[in-house]
Amino acid sequence: MIERVSPDIDGGRFPVKRVAAERVTVRANIFTEGHDRLSAVVKHRSHGSRRWHELPMQALPNDRFEASFVVGAPGMHEYTIEAWIDRFGSWRAGLAKKVEAAMEVSSELLEGAAIVEAAAQRAEAARSETDAGWLVAQARTLRGESDLADRAELALSTELARAVGRHPDRADASSLGRAVQIVIETQRARTGAWYEFFPRSTSKEPGVHGTFRDCEAWLEYIADMGFDVVYLPPIHPIGSSHRKGPNNATVSGPEDPGSPWAVGSEEGGHKSVNPALGSLADFDRLVARARELGLELALDIAFQCSPDHPYVRKHPEWFRHRPDGSIQYAENPPKKYQDIYPLDFECEHWRELWHELASVVEFWIDHGISIFRVDNPHTKPFAFWEWMIRQIREEHPEVVFLSEAFTRSSVMQYLAKSGFSQSYTYFTWRNTKHEIEEYFRELCRPPLADFMRPNLFVNTPDILPEYLQTGKRAAFQVRATLAATLAHSWGVYGPVFELCVADALPGSEEYRDSEKYEIRHWKLDDPWSLREYLARLNLIRRDNRAITEGEGPEFYDVDNREIVAFTRRSPDCEEAVLVVVNLDPHHAQSGWLSLPLAALGIDTERPFQVHDLLGGARYLWHGPRNFVSLDPESTPAHIFRLRRRVRTERDFDYFL
């Protein structure tokens, strides 16, 4: 019986997710009736390959078996499991008990000789002549007339067990009966620091529409802060019909630029750029400049149209019509989006629509884009995303899709299963110690971790959380520290974040004078900016594999509900970071932190030094309980690094 296989998503309905060079640990319950010993292997291969690679599975307590392997380049991989009764191992275990009890075992040795002879025949069939000849000789000895104790010692020898084990009897083997699919993506699908900004707000002159050329100067600013991915909201022409004014006003003025998410005008649609930003050649130059600075450019994919989009005129059949013949605009009561027409993914001509939308993604791939943030995917059919992402990845396995779906957890998880590389999360609204610990214990552990990768955005153009509205500068530091250390990927919408903009429309999470509806001018060199703090966080991330590659956070007890503490460990457990954060942005908080020193590799009998990578301070700690105090007026958090460096056999230095 082969049961409780992991990793495995919905019984093989969806592929497991990994990135290139990541380890896959396969576990399963494998058992049979009676007391026979079992052997099992994991078989894995690249999709399309005929040759399986086999790895023996190690027996764990309670019928659990385990084996691991490292996957290769982006693409599809698969594994399965095969198990069989280990006749020789079962016989050998029974013989050992009888020998220990000083029982007569001549009959048992004859039985063992037959098992060894059968292994010799399998070795010969496999053209392993050396093993075949040696095993025949051992079987002859077991049947011989030599001292019974000597023959029993031979039967129980490790050398004989290994030789027989190389040629097991798998005639009656059981298999999982299917191959578990694994989609392998690039490292960026798992890890990265994202920075979002509006290109139209990049001009050096207030009130002037920014261009792609203006964006080039911002790329240097973003690279200096250590971000990896630059994400741009839609860069397409913007419709004029029902164009929204400042603060989502239903009436706009002649100079109002409109919402970038109202995609399409007479100047083009999803395969065009807004002329106010520049030309397609200017965009290509921006992509090239980003690469020179070590940045990757991500684009917003918003599959919706303004009333002026060319699709409306050329393909009215792709939209839902009301009884009066007009096209239904988007609504999320009480909000109305008269400037946006949703596409009808289930219309009579859905095949043509789906292929056209896939061609939009392919168009931008041809212009150097391999990362896409997808707007509101939960309002489109699951089947469409599963089909489109699979289609794109067949030719472009390097492409990364980020799901912007702030909706019910079951829907968010299904989108992740359907192929999205990363997902927005509820982190934006998890502020208390209990909320953070409970949420990340679930989010960063299997089964969710096998298919849903969180990207922790601290804010978005749509969301200015209440915590940031009321917490002043320290609140921005707290949320940035948590986002940068709790998961592999995090993001900010700037420069409103580093400039600590907290002005919201009354009773909402909407920014006042939002860039969604107007051009803003930002002073990037403002001394109040958190740009140096963000740069420090990203540097700490790059220098510590525990954050960018390790498993999810392990939380520790602090006797103060306003202080949260957790570690992140590297995959090999050689490095760890300890993060301690004051969640109260208004008051200093202190408490006693309890650490499992032995589990962290720290000598429990010696004092150890802790070094704060954020502020540079050093402290000498003693034992598992130590005092921490954090004042939001100076710094609301510590990030300690734990690295064991061995000088001699008796001399250990611990650096936190």
Q: Which residues are catalytic?
A: 375, 404
Could you identify the residue written with the tokens 């139209």? 200
Alpha-carbon span 19 to 345, nearest angstrom: 31
- What long-range pairs does 439-444 form, CB within 8 A, spacing at least 24? 440/486, 440/487, 440/552, 440/553, 440/555, 441/552, 441/555, 443/487, 443/552, 444/486, 444/487, 444/551, 444/552, 444/553
Residue type at 253 in one-letter notation? G
> What does DSSP say about strands 229-232 and 192-196: parallel, antiparallel, or unpaired?
parallel
Q: Are 28 and 2 in contact (CB under 8 A)?
A: yes
Could you identify the residue written with the tokens 């059981």? 174
Q: Tell which phi-psi region holds residue 19, choosing left (phi > 0), alpha (psi between -120 and 50) or beta.
A: beta
Indicate the DSSP class of residue 209: P
H-only helix segments in 471-543: 472-486, 531-543
CA-nearest of 371, 391, 348, 51 to 189 is 371
Length, in residues, of the chain: 656
Distances (CA, A) of 428 to 435, 455, 509: 11, 11, 11
- At residue 384, the 3 state secondary structure works out as helix
Alpha-carbon span 521 to 89, nearest angstrom: 75
- At residue 300, the 3 state secondary structure works out as strand
- The pair of structure tokens assigned to 415 is 């989108």
- The pair of structure tokens assigned to 656 is 């936190």
Beta-strand (E) ranges in 51-179? 53-56, 58-59, 64-70, 75-85, 174-175
Q: Are 221 and 195 in contact (CB under 8 A)?
A: no
Alpha-carbon span 338 to 304, nearest angstrom: 12
CA-nearest of 604, 608, 605, 541 to 577 is 541
First to last CA, the chain: 46
Alpha-carbon span 633 to 637, nearest angstrom: 11
- The pair of structure tokens assigned to 589 is 């908080």
Could you identify the residue written with the tokens 């912007």? 404
Cα–Cα–Cα angle for 540, 231, 368, rounded to 5 degrees: 110
